[in-house]
Amino acid sequence: MQDDQLMAALLEAFREEARERLEALYSFAEALESGDLTREKVDEAYREAHSLKGAARAVGLTEVVRVCQELESFIGRLKDDGEREPQEVARELYRFIKEIESGIYGWKAASGVSQGEAFSEGAVEKDRGGFFEEGETSEGAVALARTGDKVSYEPLHEPTETVRVNVRRLDVLLRRAEEFIPIKLASSQYAGELKKLYWFLEDVKSRRGDDPDLSYVESVLQRLVLRVESTSRQLDILVEDLLDRAKDLLMQPFSVLFQGMGRMVRELAGELGKEVVFTVDGEDIEIDRRILEELRDPMIHLLRNAVDHGIEVPEERVRRGKDRQGRVGVLIRREEARKVSLVVRDDGRGISVKRVREKALELGLLQQSRLEGMDDFQVLQFIFYPGFSTSPSVTELSGRGLGMSIVKEKIESVGGSVSVSSKEGFGTEFIIELPVSLATFRGILVRDLGRRFVVPTHSVDAVVRLEESDHRALIGGVVSVKHNGQIIPVQRLGAVLGLDRPRRREGDSPSVLLVISASGVRAGFLVEEVITEQEGLIKGLGPHLKSVPFVWAATVLGSGEVVPVLNPGDLVRSLQEKPVAAEDSGEYDRGIPLKRKNILVVEDSITSRTLLKNILEASGFGVITAVDGLEALSLLENYEIDLVVSDVEMPRMNGIELTRRIRASEGMRNLPVILVTGLDSPEDRERGLEAGADAYIVKTDFRQTTLLEVIRRYL
């Protein structure tokens, strides 16, 4: 593809993306104008502006990038500025949107780089080899770009042999095809049940002897079994073929994702006075277009982070004995038939594990004693927490503390996982694992405590049938096993999910160990039975249930039963973050009822109190509420409480004084206390932690997932 054609294609794709994002921003402005504004809508608008800014940068619309940056900051201030009239704020918001529209649909490239220079051999090179293989850097690596005159780009309207179809129509086609999967599974199940009935009839006939009526029924049933089996096989072949063809329509190579990324890296490096070689290996591998779309924002953020935070300026690199040119690369690999991995790597300064530990303590994510027991890899995963940033200042490129949490959220929303490893002074590596398609997936159906669940096959490293001796060792108190030379924690699946434990029944003892991996970490889960592995159709949980712990989606079995699909990342993290008690692994079989954890919510605002209560109860906790610190102390004397979540500013007794009273009490001094407040200054945070709070969450940065993750660390 010629340079002009490539730029036109990129701009056309950008215009389509921008149209949707601008529509979302217009809806936000209308909600603001009408007074129908929520925290969720502000966060969503912030993300739309942030994503639009990243996409504009990729196609070189620097004026649009500048306006998006201003819009992003403007939306961020809405969280705290409640004094201005909504109509006045909406008018200013409309001005931003119209200015962005003008910059986009005017087709002006304000990057200061001509088309030819933007994609010349002297620009950042997409060398498909180099970075991931040992050896010298190739001679053709990049130099920073020359600047040229601003130019206008016009879309090309050349006739083609293809038919342009709205991708939403293709999505509808695939969803319709997917609806045949439960029918196919049901057909196979019915054929199996008919065959069992035929075998039963044969058994009855053999015991009764010759019976004309039974012989007639047997012959009819035999013909029916053969016909149903034949129909089931034909249906299976047709559905598989239909699905494969429908999925092929939505498969795209990773090269689509990386169009313009090299240019973005080069321009960013130029702004920062750095020299960078950008390489991509494996971009011809194909993946579901819907997954590719969700990857665009995370990939832009990771590449910008690599250039901004990772790669040093040339002089610093030379002092450290490195090449002047930093290297940023992406390696794409097809791990197996249904799994793809991406490695995003740079050879820059790396991430300071020490600073991450300090920041985790500062944010109250963990106590010192817990952090000391974590290895460097576990500590580094804290960078994915909302609001976590070690950058000392806020700029267009860094310090907002939102990007990495969005990266993780986006990747997990399509059934993927992400982890980070780094060596200070040598570079950083992000490993992303993804399913090839969202259409169907293979899962392992398991049973524990009378409930059935599906675990994605790609996340299961091993299924181990326990011998009696192994069973006793595990249940008797050993809460870790060695798997492939690695010690991994073990827990019963039902205990992790908080299921009520019934009285012991024959066959209810966990006899199978599932070894599950996510984000490079492994853990073991005991279940009563592994029923089967089967193909399934994924169904989303919808916006109201998307934050249910441990559950990623749902699937429909051949019987029509809807079964939860478990989130491997949540399962593994639960064992990494929470010490595994021996009795939790094995006492199920003794009929001891599982105690539900009780949380005391102390909040004077009825709205906030109700919100917190609903979030916690939906996550399986028992909740008791109080309107201030004095009522909370009274409840603590009369109820068994496992953790306190409290506001700070309250009448009669505030959260700081409540925390001090709890810490001064002999019987409650070890009770975990989490402060959730609108006071976000460093002094307020320090005051709360000095009073003895285990964690301090600012309401302006409040996320349901963050609160639940912090709570689970202390329970």
Q: List the domain boundaries for the chain.
A: 1-105, 168-244, 253-390+400-435, 441-498+511-577, 598-714
Domains 253-390+400-435 and 598-714 share a fold: no
What is the average pLDDT across 561-573? 84
Query: Which runs of consecutive H residues, i.e. helices, occur in 140-211?
Result: 167-178, 180-208
Q: 545: which DSSP letter?
A: T
What is the average pLDDT across 678-704? 76
pTM for this prediction:
0.52
Q: Which residues contact 20 (CB under 8 A, 6 or more apart)?
A: none
Q: Looking at residue 658, what is its pLDDT?
A: 92
- Count the Cβ atoms, other than its own, within 10 Å of residue 256: 16
CATH superfamily of 598-714: Response regulator (3.40.50.2300)
Counting residues of the chain whose pLDDT is more than 70, the rounded percentage is 75
CATH superfamily of 1-105: HPT domain (1.20.120.160)
CATH superfamily of 253-390+400-435: Histidine kinase-like ATPase, C-terminal domain (3.30.565.10)
Structure token digits, residue 293: 């779309």
How confident is residue 82, by pLDDT bands cut at 50, 70 and 90? Answer: low
How confident is residue 589, by pLDDT bands cut at 50, 70 and 90? Answer: very low
What is the average pLDDT across 66-86? 79
Average predicted confidence (pLDDT) for the chain:
76
Q: Looking at residue 106, what is its pLDDT?
A: 60
How confident is residue 553, by pLDDT bands cut at 50, 70 and 90? Answer: confident
Q: Looking at residue 323, what is its pLDDT?
A: 93
| Residue bearing the bigger pLDDT, 210 or 2 | 210
Asked if residue 646 lies in contact with residue 602, where contact means CB atoms within 8 angstroms, the answer is yes
Sheet holding 521-527, edge to edge: 460-465, 512-518, 521-527, 486-492, 480-483
Name the residue among 75, 71, 66, 150 with its Cα closest to residue 103.
66
Cα 680 from chain centre? 27
What pLDDT digit, counting tens, does each position of 407-454 carry?
Answer: 887 888 788 889 999 999 999 999 999 988 876 677 889 999 888 999
What is the average pLDDT across 77-96? 75
Residue length, the chain?
715
Residue 344 to residues 300, 328, 433, 534: CA-CA distances in angstroms?
Answer: 11, 8, 11, 32
| Residue bearing the bigger pLDDT, 643 or 500 | 643
Q: Looking at residue 496, what is its pLDDT?
A: 85
| Residue bearing the bigger pLDDT, 330 or 222 | 330
